[in-house]
Amino acid sequence: MSRVTVVLCPALDPDAPDGSRRELAAALSAWGIPVVIPHRQANAGTEADDTRLGMAAWVADQAVAITAAQVDGPLILVSSGPANAGLAALGFSQRAARRSVVAYVLLGGPLPDASRAGTDWPDAPVIYVDPETSGPHASAARLRGWTILDSDPIAAVSGIARGWPDSLS
């Protein structure tokens, strides 16, 4: 069985702080979990430019970064904030590239728009991580039947990746 690789997608806003993503990458690496950390591209969508074109550029940048990393095993895709909206499309791109996405982890923020995600997404478990499990986004995730975790992102993602595949059953 292949080891799972965690892809830590960047925020949509190229000026957003990157510290928590770097901390998460360091924690995962310390556990021996392969990590892909795509760089934020200047042409990616931003919060101010939340257009389909901007989101498509963001998804394409992530897909290219995963391909460049030569990942051959299953993936856990991790995003936060407005970038969550691109996870369905990124998952589809990976499926088209014959890579298996075994989980989507959303670190707070809004959920992907169900009307844009398509009827065959999610194609893997979705875990929503937010200390505010009673907030509106967590409530909407719960209504979709997704797993809600109130632990800190590093503990949640590390636990999911270290325990894969049993952590997702």
Each residue's pLDDT tens digit, 80-108? 988 999 999 999 999 999 999 999 999 99
For 104-145, the pLDDT digits (tens) are 999 998 998 877 767 788 999 999 998 877 888 999 999 999
Q: Which of 12, 108, 122, 100 is nearest to 56 (CA)?
A: 12
pLDDT band per the 50, 70, 90 thresholds, residue 45 = very low
The CATH code belonging to domain 5-168 is: 3.40.50.1820
118 contacts: CB under 8 Å, gap ≥ 6: 88, 92
Q: Which of 159, 123, 129, 153 is nearest to 141 (CA)?
A: 129
Answer yes or no: is pLDDT of 17 > 70: no
Q: Where are the domains of the chain?
A: 5-168
pTM of the model: 0.89
Q: Is the peptide bond before 74 cis (omega within 30 degrees of 0)?
A: no
Q: Which of 11, 60, 7, 14 is nearest to 34 (CA)?
A: 7
